[in-house]
């Protein structure tokens, strides 16, 4: 995929020295990531490596323990509430669940951000909603309720809602999870098409290797709190790093061990036996 011409080579999202902990566990331990403008950047890695957490840090929902995240030149975690709200208006988010409002129809779900954040007249809102639904192939489903949609259709409606305010950037949280092959194929085509047509910058968080690698321009692979590889998708696909090969090839064991860290089994068994004996 070729890069769109930009006014500046400065990345849209610039992450430096990011550290974030949950209790004693380091989710991120000194992470540096650049998200280029106009491209699709994939953040990949095993489950539990903090990929969704990274999106929340970029959006300012979580605060890092150390390091900085700049979006469009602004330090996200130094913004006041008003400026953070303005920045979030330029970010679209496709949640893994879709997160549609269940008591209103498809049209109103997509119109909701426009009604909430703009003073546009109803005639303009209608045109914008129909255009976004057309872009995801669901203009004809505008009167359906969320309960009447398939999982793939719900994900596409959520995508229409995410782009209705014409954001500068859109973040996809596991967009392919739980999708049947046809729905997945639709999303695989739709994401790059929208990215190019709307001149978006896209961040795709996923552990679906084949689909994500097929649409990404840049890939970062994260494991054990570190970026273990990052670069153009072709470079990552051909990497001979054991860490990268384990993830890309779906190997059960390797640098990322099968067993969660624990004391030796024998010691655990003896300790349990001693504790049981003490009780009796």
Distance CA 78, CA 182 (A): 43
Four-point Cα dihedral 79, 53, 167, 148, nearest 10? -140
Parallel, antiparallel, or unpaired: how do β-strands 40-44 and 169-173 relate?
A: unpaired
Give the per-residue pLDDT at 31.
93
The residue written with tokens 């669940």 in the block is 97
Per-residue CA distances from 114 to 118, 169, 224 (Å): 5, 17, 40
Distance CA 33, CA 16 (A): 7
pLDDT, tens digit (0-9, with 9 covering 90-100), for 72-104: 999 999 999 999 988 988 898 887 766 888 999
And the tokens for 124?
């303009």
Q: Would you state the CATH architecture of domain 7-90+220-280? A: 3-Layer(aba) Sandwich (3.40)
The ranges assigned to domains in the chain are 7-90+220-280
Give the per-residue pLDDT at 105.
95
Residues of the chain under the 50 pLDDT cut: 1-7, 279
Give the per-residue pLDDT at 259.
61
pLDDT, tens digit (0-9, with 9 covering 90-100), for 187-211: 888 899 888 888 889 999 987 888 8
Per-residue CA distances from 123 to 96, 128, 130 (Å): 31, 9, 11
Distance CA 128, CA 89 (A): 16
């Amino acid at each position: 995929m070729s890069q769109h011409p930009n006014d500046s080579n400065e990345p849209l999202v610039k992450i430096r020295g990011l550290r974030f902990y949950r209790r004693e566990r380091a989710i991120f331990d000194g992470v540096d990531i650049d998200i280029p403008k106009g491209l699709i950047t994939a953040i990949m890695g095993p489950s539990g490596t903090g990929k969704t957490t990274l999106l929340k840090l970029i959006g300012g929902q979580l605060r890092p323990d150390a390091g900085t995240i700049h979006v469009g030149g602004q330090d996200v975690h130094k913004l006041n509430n008003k400026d953070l709200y303005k920045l979030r208006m330029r970010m679209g988010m496709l949640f893994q669940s879709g997160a549609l409002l269940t008591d209103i129809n498809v049209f109103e779900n997509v119109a909701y951000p426009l009604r909430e954040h703009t003073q546009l007249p109803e005639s303009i809102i209608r045109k914008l909603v129909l255009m976004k639904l057309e872009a995801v192939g669901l203009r004809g489903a505008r009167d359906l309720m969320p309960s009447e949609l398939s999982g793939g259709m719900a994900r596409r409606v959520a995508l229409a809602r995410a782009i209705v305010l014409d954001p500068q950037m859109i973040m996809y949280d596991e967009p392919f999870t739980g999708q049947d092959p046809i729905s997945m194929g639709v999303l695989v085509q739709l994401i790059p098409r929208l990215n190019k047509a709307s001149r978006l910058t896209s961040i795709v968080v996923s552990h679906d290797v084949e689909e994500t690698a097929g649409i990404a321009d840049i890939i970062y692979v994260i494991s054990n709190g570190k970026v273990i590889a990052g670069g153009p998708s072709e470079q990552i696909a051909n990497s001979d790093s054991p860490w990268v090969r384990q993830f890309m090839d779906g190997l059960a064991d390797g640098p990322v061990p099968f067993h969660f860290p624990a004391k030796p089994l024998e010691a655990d068994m003896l300790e349990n036996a001693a504790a049981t004996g003490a009780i009796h």
